[in-house]
Homo-oligomer: A and B are copies of this chain.
């Protein structure tokens, strides 16, 4: 095997067969991927089950960072998007866009990381594609993962289902991923103990659904952070969100970095956190389920939902310990490009 990606690895010929066999199959192939047809063939569904289908491309820079790498992100991101629908994520596709000259050794590390994350999530990579672009027309490696999951009968979640009186939970500390990436790029020393939270949350979501069956919706606060996620949900459901600043978990190192750099941790990206809206009566049960999960130790109830004020439309308000209240807006423009 060559030690760098060459244009021929995307040719459709013998060199492409080699990178597929020796890099991708070596890392993560099961029977369906190895079968080598152009479409994976997957089992049917049981009565009442529906499909969940999602896609995400990953262009994060750098490719490797504390707590993860582009491969782990690519698996966790799509697993989490599928899981937000209440589905069990089952099958992923993987499309690579490689730049000529990229080290094969780095690609192997990324693929090994994808395999490990897929095992943890319990999903199989069943179909894939590889393209190579000339040097200077890409950035080493971009990865698209798409995925399919099965929504059990009776589960029907959505961002438009939030109701006044519902409780709002978050599964852990905010801003870790974004600050980690920023810190890598800028070589900041004061964030030495911060690492990306990239994690598959499908098991956590399944536990919450079992404990709190009337969950309205899940959403992972990735680009744009909690602020964007809550504003999206407020808009979809036409309700107000009221969250308490004091109750929102943020690590000291992340808060310190944000203070120094002028970022709002609530607008910084996360890759292993889940926002959950649930009827107030099931909020404690949902919280206990999160606390029982390996990725939910710092979960908290952070606020509640109210009717939108007729004169202002749906908004997200954040309250501080002194009773003050301000509007939490969506990010405008770009804070930190290529975070995922």
Mark out the residues of chain A between 33 and 63 whose CB falls within 8 Å of any chain B CB in the assembled complex. Answer: 35-45, 47-59, 61
List residues of chain B with CB within 8 A of the CB of A16. 223-224
The answer to whether A13 touches B52 (Cβ under 8 A) is no
Question: Is B37 a contact of A84 with CB atoms below 8 Å?
Answer: yes
Q: Which residues of B contact A87 (CB under 8 A)?
A: 39
The interface-forming segment of A138-146, A285-293, A314-322 is: A138-146
Given contacts A223-B10, A332-B14, contact A44 B49 (CB under 8 A): yes
8 Å CB contact of A334 from B8, B91, B97? B8
| Among listed A105-113, A125-133, A166-174, A304-312, interface-contacting one | A125-133
Say whether A331 faces chain B, with CB atoms less than 8 Å apart. Answer: yes
Q: Which residue of B lies closest to A53 (CB)?
A: B40
Q: Tell yes or no: A183 within 8 A of B by CB.
A: no
Tell me, yes or no, whether A151 is within 8 Å of chain B by CB. Answer: yes
A325 contacts chain B at the CB level, 8 A cutoff: no
Give the chain B neighbours of A127 by CB distance below 8 A: 53-55
A277 CA to B161 CA, complexed, in Å: 50
Q: Which of B13, B38, B82, B132 contacts A85 (CB 8 A)?
A: B38
| A115 CB–B CB distance under 8 Å | no
Q: Does A187 contact B (CB under 8 A)?
A: no
Q: Is A326 an interface residue (CB 8 A)?
A: no
Which B residues lie within 8 Å of A101 (CB)? none
Q: Which residues of B contact A37 (CB under 8 A)?
A: 84-85, 158-159, 217, 219
Tell yes or no: A337 within 8 A of B by CB.
yes
Select one of B36, B144, B159, B232 contacting A144, CB under 8 A.
B144
For the complex of A and B, 5 pairs with smallest distance between CB atoms? A12-B223, A12-B224, A13-B331, A146-B146, A55-B93
Sample of 17 A–B contacts (CB below 8 Å): A11-B224, A11-B337, A13-B332, A14-B330, A37-B85, A39-B85, A40-B52, A41-B158, A42-B52, A53-B126, A55-B93, A55-B127, A55-B129, A57-B144, A61-B137, A95-B146, A133-B142
Instruction: Beyond A7-B337, A42-B53, list 19 extra A-B contacts (CB 8 Å).
Output: A12-B331, A13-B267, A14-B332, A16-B223, A39-B82, A39-B85, A39-B149, A41-B51, A51-B51, A53-B127, A54-B93, A55-B146, A56-B95, A57-B144, A129-B144, A131-B338, A131-B340, A133-B142, A148-B148
